[in-house]
Chain A
Amino acid sequence: HQSTLRPNHEVSPVTTKPVPELSLSSLIDMGFTDTQAEQIFESVSSVRGGSAAKHILSTLTVLFVLGLNPSSVQKLLEKCPELYTVKEAQLQQRISNLRKLGLVEGSLQRMVAHYPKILTVPVKTVKNVVTFLKERCLFTSQQASDILRDSPAVVLENLDQLEYKFQYVYFRMGVKQTEMVKFRLFRFPLDEVRCRHIFLERRGFYQTPDKKGQTTIVNPKLDSILNTDLDTFLTHVAQATAEEYDVFQKLLAREWKEEELQQGKIEAD
């Protein structure tokens, strides 16, 4: 099946045995520059077990067929050498799964170039995360695919952690799914989100909405909490000094550590 996507004959004649030799010249023939070819050649040889050499040509072909140019292919392989060892069929499945999940052409290529690791993740894992986002966090399919596109690293996050992050932002900060997607919540580490939020809360600038969704002050938008550099966040949102935030981070880290210890004690009892 899927024979159309196999390495094409001019580039590397496909015979099942013996494994085709990977040579510098074959790489150059594929469109890599001398330097790129050398770099690829070197990194393939450094991957242990010899399986890399076996899959390299098919991997390259799949990436070309996806529409990536030699230069971005070389860069993403450098970022993620694990790709050398992934079987062709698996790559195909993973890519078509991403298409099925709603990643359109263009986005798909950008995502792979930016986060090649996505192709090392089993289809099942990706599906689980998407199902989780839809069923446990009530994101729509479109939102789930937007999350995948903007923050592909979610696929490797622990689902408990992910749930905690969602619940924190949903219940404690009172932020709805639309905004979480729009402002790319899942790109940010939970601790950073929590730290900025609690800082604002203790300064009196953030309130958890009540049951009717109301607050007595206007909360700052998620955007201005997440997508601002520290200086802007401090001067415009928190109206605080860097010294204050610095001490606050230290104190909060200690509070969390002690809460965890406390939690551990309660669970052990």
Chain B
Amino acid sequence: MPRRIAPIAVVAAAVAAVVAATLAWWWMTSNRYPPPPVPEGLAAATTTAAPLIRDAVRLVESRPGDAEARYHLALVYEANDDPTRARTSLEQAILLAPDAPPAWYHLALVHEHFGALDEAIAAMERVVELAPGYAPAHRHLGQWRLDQNRIGDAEKAFQRALAANPRDVEAAVGMARIEVERNDDAAALARLEAIVNGSDPPGAGAFQLYGTILRRAGRLAEAGAAFARARADAPQTFDPWRDQLEPLRASLDGQLAYARKLLLRGRVADALTLLESLYREYPESASAAIDLAVARRALGNLDGSMALLEDAVAAFPESSNAHYNYALTRFMLSHRPDGTIDPAGLADVDAHVATAIATNPSSPLPRALQGDLHTALGENRAAAACYQQAAVADPANPSWPYQAGLALLRAGDAPGALTALSSALALSPRRPEIMVALAEALRASGRADEAASMLAAARRQSSRRPEPAGPESLPPLPWGANSSGFAPAGNRQ
């Protein structure tokens, strides 16, 4: 007769199993894996980043052997101005997944943030070993090697960046810097002319270097124009790993910046979703309201945009941006389907443009909008004057003298148009539409031969072969550009 197992034994066995499992879990989590870095008082913290951090920490605690979870936590810290904990998290992620290039990449950036250039370079060297096709890594290496005055190494890095992505403008600027270092101004000038007139807008550094070389070549007027453009924003470079930080910036400003980038990239629907939620969360924010209005307008929802802007100008009467966008949207609403303007729709536009200018005299946009209004009403001289004022406020932008030139052409002022359009062409020497308008002004001035030459130049410019392939046509990266880049399975719990 089989022996009966006492219930107490079953219970004991179950307890033992539970204890063993708990011990195993404790061993795995406590001994094998280090705890994630956690700010003191996180549980009770009320900052905008706190919920994101809590979620990311929880994820790591639930999957302590998961490198990607630690990487995500690192990005949350990095995006929210805590590079120290970001560094710790990245080092933990790398211990679990030593071959994950994005972790090394962000570790390099964090080291660089701390000024630890040698460590940054070592980490970035690891990235290029693991992901030789990732152009931004080579570009960073090139810039850091330049900082070390290791010109040959910098050149190789920039060349690799350009091989990986021929449209990496900043790498091309880096090559120009190397040429300048080698006193080959001619080569640098040729390269920079292609860059500043290319379809991918470069950053301020390109114009600064371009101006310096032009100045050395005695081309002072062009140098002045280049220096005036050396205030450009940072270029939109292809760097999907770095872009992973954007949605993780918890502050309102960070979220709005992300929404604006989405808008710039044409992801209007995503931007709209984000902005709608930000507007609900921050109804007191003028920026949230106005950015949402801009997104709605971009999607064709002019009435929805107008409703927001009516509230915005009332709630934020000192906001130039609110008044400008109100006036712009009202102006767009006044367009009839046949393309004509309904003057009644413009009733209060002037007043809002005037307020926008008064509250921010240095902004060119309200003045240009004023020009558009005059243009729509056939008041070409007045329009030209407005565009010229916009050009004074924003001397690096060729659009304003170009618009002024067109208005003056329409007004029959060929000499004035010549002057304005020549200024526009000096700022952007390869834009065919400016050349065509300038040809028209030359013809109207009785300079038919020059007009014909200019038109021919415009045609040549229009028929230029397309720019080389951009990152969207790069061979696929081994992990996919938008994934975290962590190897599956073996590195996960």
Q: Do A and B bind each other?
A: no
